[in-house]
């Protein structure tokens, strides 16, 4: 087909769910592992599900060579079954079935990194969501849970380590240079949690004692040469185990728990039962190669995958429309884990702000674009396209709202009931909501709309004060824009945590109609359930400044008209640290919008004294934790500023933001220098919260200082780059050096640092990813530079981390260059989506989403984006993954 709309691929619908026609009780698998041709023999004991409308025995398979198919001991003739695409149907099968299947697969040819594939000569699997069908024919759907026994056979020299889920029950030599290992998983599981790993790997291991006294074996497996980078992952695993015992009373149910790191991985990590497989990015760390951000990422992803053992594995999803049941809940759990580990109130707030920043920047944008979907989608073409920020991060916000509404203990009761009811089952999001409602006695019927309606609600705020009567009223009005397939929205159940500040900045005691049982409290959680509601506060002796949506109590956009004075007041005094930060962001955002318009109009750019002084006060406020100051002083990103406009001008936004950074530095240079000196942390690196906080504020100061550079500040950066012994400081210095506006000679010195960095870390793949990323996102980097970097010997499209660092870095995180007026960014994008589509559809489809918001750009750019989208749509052999994204963008 040669037009500019991709053929709309076949969607599947939640409403069409039918229970499986057959259950599987046991799965026995034998693998003869060979990189070119792996032979898989599978024996399934199955029984009819008499409650299902599905009468055929249905199996799924993809990219398989079927060698043998026997039912109850008899070879099945071709006429006894039918295959249509990925679906095999066996009609008229008896109620009890033993199915024997032999397949052959080609791991080295599998560049999709789904199913069984090769990574640096090792075998790795990734089965979620539908990768198991690339290993054998199987009822590959999450509601079919079975017990697995797995026999692995392979060459002993090439594959000395053989791992699968559960417990190792037998191993030995086969005599012919090969050996075997037999694994048994004692728990029933869906096929997406199957895993095997084989190859040359080494591990750090430890016996760990659970609170119950039981001892378990913990292992972190990596490629040779990386054992000096596993300690942090091991520590994070132990912290995770302890946290789930303490906070939720959930114990590790296996005797052995393994983490394996691989450098070829589509996503972050995978929670396979007892055998978690990770992207190296979320395992490997030591001070030389990993930054503070990396350390934090490892902690939260190790936690995330471990917590899935209960929320995902013990209780799993009935179907993939319920994905957020496990992902939203598990993200909430990993967020709480990281917050609890820091422990302090500021630490919690810092974590909350970081999470909300991502939600707003990425998920709100998804909600406003062509791929908008509810937390529990109604349909999809390719499930891999739905591992989204909506399912994960908004899903976590939905879980957090139960927590906010029910309180700490109420939420725990709900969790306990959820496990009491559903352990060992495959269930729906509604079952989780029912557990929360039934355990608390609360009516959460309306809350269901958070699962069924897409889009980010707006909450508009109006206030009125009657001084004589001492009555203050807040009127909240909610609305939500249409999203694809959902024209009308009904009101959501929105928890609005709030307080009122008096003129001294103190919280006023609250007496709110309808909330009498909490009379006198400093803060309340108002519940907005109608379109418009007025909340009436009495005994309010002076006009307050309202602090609303404290701690970001709901994933909404708050439309409220604050004066600069109100914002300064909140910034200085709000007892809720999130809203203090928020007030600063509002002050900044207002100016950035104004300045962007001034750039477009060619007007003179000016920054007011009130703002500069506010920033100076924060910078120098030693009562504030340095990490909190760092967040406060970071301007809203270019992507966030873009959301304030109906038509986006990326270059003007960039210019305006750079102007503010440079002007702040011009005025605050002495303060920044002093902060830089104060927070220098010489000595041994430690990834604890207090040291991280110091480094982050110091490095923020450095990045500002280079915005108004002279030889002395340049020297600071060069010295830090040369002399720091940890990657956090080195990368911060190099980032500042890669982005500053200096003279020719200064720029040369910076370029030298970049070269040196490459040479020094040539053999550390994760650091080379940073090196590419740094250049991809530098505002001096244009399409031509990207093309040159793609020719670099260290670049390859087949490794997702590498592709993401350079290509995604440029297309998603360098807006002013990617959206070059000549459209060259889009042309490159189209070529790369098409190239990646052949190699790895999942990664290609992610990149395809870079043009999601094309309708938000000026006409001349829109035309070029549409042409690029059309070019991809017209490409041959488009995967379902890419076709879905492109057809939705063009719809």
The one catalytic residue among 102, 271, 299, 305: 305
Q: Considering the complex, what minimum distance in angstroms separates the CB of residue 121 from ligand ARG? A: 22
Determine the 3-state secondary structure of 156 from DSSP.
Answer: coil
Name the binder of 574 from ligand ARG, Zn ion, none, CB < 5-8 A by kind.
none
Q: How far is CA 332 from CA 308, 584, 605, 635, 878, in A?
A: 11, 26, 42, 26, 35
Cβ 16 to ligand ARG, closest distance in Å? 21
Q: What is the sign of the dihedral through the CA atoms of 66, 70, 76 and 80?
A: negative
Residue 277 Cβ, how far from Zn ion at the closest point, in Å?
A: 12
Give the one entry of ligand ARG, Zn ion, none that residue 883 binds, where binding means its C-beta sits below a cut-off of 5 to 8 angstroms depending on kind.
none
Report strand pairing: 256-262 vs 215-222: parallel
The interface partner of residue 799, options being Zn ion, ligand ARG, none and the CB cut-off 5 to 8 Å by kind, is none
Q: Which two tokens stand for residue 617?
A: 């006060």
SS3 content of the chain, % helix, strand, coil (to 5): 45, 20, 35
270 binds, among Zn ion, ligand ARG, none (CB under 5 to 8 A by kind): ligand ARG
Residues whose CB is less than 8 angstroms from the CB of residue 296 and which lie 6 or more positions away in sequence, other chains included: 338, 692
- Give which of 214, 315, 240 is closest to 273, Cα–Cα: 315
Task: Report how far Cα 217 is from the mean position of its chain's Cα atoms.
Answer: 29
Binders of Zn ion in range 821-860 (CB under 5 A): none
Residues that bind ligand ARG (CB under 6 A): 126, 128-129, 266-271, 304-305, 327, 384, 387, 842
- Rounded least distance, CB 384 to ligand ARG, Å: 5
CB closer to ligand ARG, 746 vs 842: 842
Alpha carbons 521 and 515: distance in angstroms, whole number: 10
Query: Distances from the Cα of 335 to the Cαs of 341, 342, 723, in angstroms?
Result: 10, 11, 34
Q: How far apart are CA 614 and CA 616, in angstroms?
A: 5
Return the half-sphere exposure (C-beta side, CA atoms, 13 A cut-off) of residue 592: 29
Report the residue number, 126 or 330, with the smaller CB distance to Zn ion.
330
Residue 824, Cα to own-chain centre: how many angstroms?
A: 29
β-strands 524-528, 494-501: how paired? antiparallel
Looking at the Cβ atoms of 144 and 640, the one nearer to ligand ARG is: 144
* Minimum CB distance to ligand ARG, residue 305 (Å): 6
User: Measured from the CB atom, is 398 or 567 closer to Zn ion?
Assistant: 398
Q: Are 546 and 579 in contact (CB under 8 A)?
A: no
CB of 278 to ligand ARG, least distance (A): 9
User: CA dihedral in degrees (300, 303, 304, 310; nearest 10)?
Assistant: -160
The interface mask with Zn ion, positions 330-359, x = CB under 5 A, is x-----------------------------
Give least dist CB 191 to ligand ARG, A: 14
Q: Which stretch binds Zn ion (CB under 5 A): 118-126, 229-237, 319-327, 349-357?
A: 319-327
Which does residue 814 bind out of Zn ion, ligand ARG, none, counting CB within 5 to 8 angstroms by kind? none
Q: What's the closest the beta carbon of residue 117 comes to ligand ARG, in angstroms? A: 12
- Considering the complex, state which of residue 266 and residue 456 has its C-beta at the smaller distance from ligand ARG: 266
Where helices occur in 484-523 by DSSP H, the ranges are none
Task: Please choose which of Zn ion, ligand ARG, none residue 417 contacts, taking the beta carbon within 5 to 8 angstroms, the exact cut-off set by kind.
Answer: none
Number of residues that bind Zn ion (CB under 5 A): 2
Active site residue 305: yes
Binding site partner of 781, from ligand ARG, Zn ion, none, Cβ cut-off 5-8 A by kind: none
Nearest residue to 833 (alpha-carbon basis) of 782, 794, 884, 771: 884
Pick from ligand ARG, Zn ion, none: which does 367 bind, CB < 5 to 8 A by kind? Answer: none
Give the three-state DSSP class for 758.
helix
77, burial (CB in 10 Å: exposed 0-12, middle 13-18, buried 19+): exposed
Stretch that binds Zn ion, among 161-169, 188-196, 315-323, 327-335 (CB under 5 A): 327-335
Distances (CA, A) of 245 to 190, 253, 411, 786: 25, 11, 16, 48
Strand partners, 574: none
Residues 123 and 120: their CA atoms lie apart, in Å, by 9
- CB nearer to ligand ARG: give 300 or 696: 300
Smaller CB distance to ligand ARG: residue 221 or 679?
221
Nearer to Zn ion, 327 or 507 (CB): 327
Q: What is the binding site for Zn ion (CB under 5 A)?
A: 327, 330
Please list the active-site residues.
Answer: 305
């Amino acid at each position: 087909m040669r037009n500019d709309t991709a053929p709309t691929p076949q969607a599947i619908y939640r409403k069409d769910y039918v229970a499986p026609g057959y259950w599987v009780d046991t799965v026995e698998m034998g693998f003869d592992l060979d990189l070119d041709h792996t032979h898989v023999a599978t024996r399934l004991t199955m029984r009819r599900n008499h409650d299902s409308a599905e009468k055929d025995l249905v199996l799924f398979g993809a990219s398989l060579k079927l060698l043998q198919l026997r039912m109850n001991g008899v070879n099945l003739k071709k006429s006894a079954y039918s295959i249509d695409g990925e679906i095999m149907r066996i009609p008229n099968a008896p109620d009890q079935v033993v199915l024997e299947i032999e397949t052959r697969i080609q791991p080295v040819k599998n560049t999709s990194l789904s199913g069984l594939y090769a990574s640096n000569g090792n075998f790795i699997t990734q089965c979620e969501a539908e990768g198991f069908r690339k290993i054998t024919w199987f009822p590959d759907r999450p509601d079919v849970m079975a017990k697995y026994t797995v026999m692995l056979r392979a060459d002993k020299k090439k594959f000395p380590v053989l791992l699968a889920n559960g417990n190792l029950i037998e191993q030995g030599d086969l005599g012919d240079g090969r050996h075997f290992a037999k694994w048994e998983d004692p728990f029933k599981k869906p096929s997406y949690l199957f895993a095997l790993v084989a190859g040359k790997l080494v591990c750090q291991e430890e016996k760990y004692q659970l609170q119950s006294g039981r001892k378990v074996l913990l292992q972190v497996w990596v490629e040779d040469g990386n054992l000096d980078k596993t300690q942090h992952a091991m520590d994070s695993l132990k912290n995770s185990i302890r946290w789930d015992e303490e906070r939720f009373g959930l114990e590790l149910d296996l005797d052995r728990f393994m983490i394996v790191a691989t450098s070829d991985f589509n996503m972050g990590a995978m929670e396979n039962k007892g055998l978690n497989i990770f992207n190296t990015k979320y395992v490997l760390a030591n001070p030389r190669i990993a930054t503070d951000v990396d350390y934090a990422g490892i902690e939260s992803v190790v936690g995330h995958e471990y917590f899935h053992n209960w929320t995902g594995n013990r209780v799993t999803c009935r179907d993939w429309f319920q994905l957020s049941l496990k992902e939203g809940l598990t993200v909430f759990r990993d967020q709480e884990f990281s917050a609890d580990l820091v422990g302090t109130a500021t630490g919690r707030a810092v974590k909350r702000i970081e999470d909300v920043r991502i939600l707003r920047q990425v998920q709100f944008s998804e909600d406003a674009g062509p791929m908008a979907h509810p937390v529990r989608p109604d349909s999809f073409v390719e499930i891999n396209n739905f591992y989204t920020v909506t399912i994960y991060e908004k899903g976590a916000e939905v879980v957090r709202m139960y927590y906010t509404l029910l309180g700490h203990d109420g939420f725990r009761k709900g969790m306990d009931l959820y496990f009491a009811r559903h352990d060992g089952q495959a269930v729906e999001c509604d079952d989780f909501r029912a557990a929360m409602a039934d355990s608390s006695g609360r009516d959460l019927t309306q809350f269901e709309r958070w699962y069924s309606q897409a889009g980010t609600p707006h909450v508009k705020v109006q206030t009125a004060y009657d001084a004589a009567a001492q009555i203050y009223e807040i009127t909240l009005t909610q609305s939500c824009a249409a999203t694809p397939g959902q024209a009308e929205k009904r009101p959501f159940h929105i928890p609005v945590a709030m307080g009122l500040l008096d003129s001294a900045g103190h919280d006023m005691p609250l007496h709110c109609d309808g909330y009498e049982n909490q009379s006198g409290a400093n803060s309340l959680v108002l519940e907005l359930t109608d379109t418009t509601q007025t909340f009436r506060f009495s005994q309010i002796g002076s006009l307050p400044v309202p602090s609303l949506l404290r701690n970001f109590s709901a994933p909404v956009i708050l439309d409220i008209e604050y004066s600069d004075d109100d914002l300064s007041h909140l910034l200085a005094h709000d007892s809720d640290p999130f809203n203090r930060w928020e007030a600063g962001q509002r002050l900044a955002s207002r100016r950035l919008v104004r300045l962007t318009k001034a750039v477009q109009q060619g007007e003179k750019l000016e920054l007011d004294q009130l703002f500069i002084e506010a920033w100076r006060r924060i910078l120098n406020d030693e009562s504030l934790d340095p990490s909190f100051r760092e967040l406060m002083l970071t301007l809203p990103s270019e992507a966030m500023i873009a959301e304030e406009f109906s038509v986006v001008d990326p270059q003007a936004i960039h210019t305006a933001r750079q102007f503010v950074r440079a002007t702040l530095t011009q005025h605050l240079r002495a303060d920044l220098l002093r902060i830089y000196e104060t927070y220098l942390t010489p000595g041994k690196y430690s990834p604890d919260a207090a040291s991280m906080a110091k480094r982050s504020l110091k490095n923020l100061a450095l990045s500002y200082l280079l915005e108004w550079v002279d030889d002395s500040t340049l020297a600071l950066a060069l010295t830090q780059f040369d002399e720091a012994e940890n990657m956090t400081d080195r990368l911060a210095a190099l980032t500042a050096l890669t982005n500053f506006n200096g003279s020719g000679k200064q720029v040369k010195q910076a370029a030298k640092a970049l070269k040196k960095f490459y040479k020094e870390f040539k053999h550390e793949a994760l650091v080379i990813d940073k090196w590419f990323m740094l250049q991809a996102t530098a505002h001096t980097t244009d399409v031509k530079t990207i093309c040159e970097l793609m020719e670099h010997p260290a670049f390859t499209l087949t490794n997702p981390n590498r592709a993401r660092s350079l290509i995604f870095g440029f297309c998603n995180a360098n807006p002013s260059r990617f959206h070059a007026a000549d459209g060259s960014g889009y042309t490159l994008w189209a070529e790369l989506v098409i190239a990646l589509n052949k190699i790895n559809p999942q990664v290609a489809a992610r990149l395809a989403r870079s043009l999601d918001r094309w309708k938000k750009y000026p006409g001349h750019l829109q035309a070029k984006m549409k042409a690029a989208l059309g070019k991809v749509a017209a490409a041959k052999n488009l995967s379902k993954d890419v076709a879905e994204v492109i057809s939705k963008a063009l719809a």
